[in-house]
Structure 1
Amino acid sequence: MLFAHDTECSLIATAALVNTGGSDGEGLPDVAALDEYYVTHAYSGRHEHTQAELEAVRGLRPRLRRIWDADVDEVVAIVNGLLRENDALPQLITHDDEPYHFHAVPRDAPLATRIAVEAAMAIADLVRGGELSRLRICDHPDCDNVLVDLSRNRSRRFCEAGCGNRAAVSAYRARKAAAQR
């Protein structure tokens, strides 16, 4: 583990949220999809299961997506803005058999608020550690998804959407075609 468990979980959840708004269409089409995101990324606390909550979470995506393209000063401005706007007050918390980790807003805060603050706190850890280069765009030419490279050797190139497999198949076919000439 390169970062604290809650940091890694928040980074992965943030990338997944950003990727739901990609060019492949709406990845959070309804409240049921938000429910699945909530469960998949082990969020806890308040979850209203409403269209308004869904819209608030969708509304975070453009701002979070900018982090992957921004320089460190803009990232810091985004992070500080998210923390300030949501009245973040970091505290160590334990719940649901989880070890101590940071929460910066109450568990009954709106889901979009909790997602924004958890993302900001995780990105802040990357900034503090000089590790923003771990935030990348997928290397596949037909993909604009984001990813978080948590590998020790910083070698991850492709997102979770199967782009690594597509690249490998394309390379294999190219080698096979070249060998048949």
Structure 2
Amino acid sequence: MVFAPDTETALRSVVALINTGTNGEEHLPALDDLDRFLEAEGFTGSRSRDAAELAGVHRLRDRLAEVWLADEDTAVDTVNRLLRDACALPQLVRHDHWDWHLHATAPEAPLADRMSTEAAMALVDVIRSKEWDRLLVCAAEDCDAVVLDLSRNRSKRYCDTGNCANRAHVAAYRARKAAS
């Protein structure tokens, strides 16, 4: 394991959120889509379920996508800003199926604040661990989805949003066959 379980979960959620807006497609166009996303990612706490909440999540997604592609110093500035903007105050909590882990906002804080704080706290662990190179962009030429490489040998190159790895492997196989 590279990071604590809650950090890995938060990082996977960041990847999932960023990838709802990659490759020129919008996968969170409506509140029902946001509801399904939050359910799949296990987000809890209060919700306003309005257009402003959805817009806040879209803005957060854009900021996180910028962080993912940034150099470490720029990422640190953005992560600190995310924590300041949400008035983050880290504390240990236990709920649902989770044992003790960190939350830095109250359950009644706005959804985008809770999501940004959770993402920022996970990115803090990535930065402090000097593991920034685990945050990648899909190696497929026609894909701009992000990738979180938690493999031991740091070999993950393709996203999980489609079949990029399969397409690349088939193309390489066909190229080898054509060459022989």
Q: TM-score, normalised by structure 2?
A: 0.95
Compute the displacement of 1:85 (Å). Answer: 0.9
Compute the displacement of 1:21 (Å). Answer: 1.5
Q: Does residue 50 of structure 2 align to residue 50 of structure 1?
A: yes
Map 1:128-143 → 2, pairs under 5 A: 128-143=128-143
Task: Please give the alpha-carbon distance, in whole angstroms, between the structure 2 residues aligned to 1:170 and 1:135.
Answer: 25
Alignment deviations for residues 9-63 of structure 1 (CA, whole Å, 9 cap, x no partner): 1111111111111133111111111111101111111133322211110011221
Larger mean Cα displacement after TM superposition, 101-110 or 43-52: 43-52
Would you identify which runs of 4 or more consecutive aligned residues in structure 1 move more than 3 Å?
none
Q: Does residue 119 of structure 2 align to residue 119 of structure 1?
A: yes
The one-letter code matched in structure 1 to 2:176 is R
Map 1:98-177 → 2, pairs under 5 A: 98-161=98-161, 162-177=163-178
Structure 2 residue matching 1:20: 3-state secondary structure? helix
The one-letter code matched in structure 1 to 2:83 is L
Task: Please give the alpha-carbon distance, in whole angstroms, between the structure 2 residues aligned to 1:73 and 1:50.
Answer: 35
Q: How many residues align?
A: 179
Q: Does residue 67 of structure 2 align to residue 67 of structure 1?
A: yes
The one-letter code matched in structure 2 to 1:156 is K
Q: Does residue 31 of structure 2 align to residue 26 of structure 1?
A: no
Of all paired residues, the percent bearing the same amino acid is: 49
Task: Please give the alpha-carbon distance, in whole angstroms, between the structure 2 residues aligned to 1:22 and 1:97.
Answer: 31
The one-letter code matched in structure 1 to 2:100 is Y
Structure 1 residue matching 2:143: 3-state secondary structure? coil
The one-letter code matched in structure 1 to 2:66 is R
Map 1:4-23 → 2, pairs under 5 A: 4-23=4-23
Compute the displacement of 1:97 (Å). Answer: 2.5
Task: Please give the alpha-carbon distance, in whole angstroms, between the structure 1 residues aligned to 2:46 and 2:7.
Answer: 20
Q: Does residue 54 of structure 2 align to residue 91 of structure 1?
A: no
Larger mean Cα displacement after TM superposition, 157-166 or 46-55: 46-55
> Which runs of 5 or more residues in structure 1 are unaligned?
none
> Which runs of 5 or more residues in structure 2 are unaligned?
none
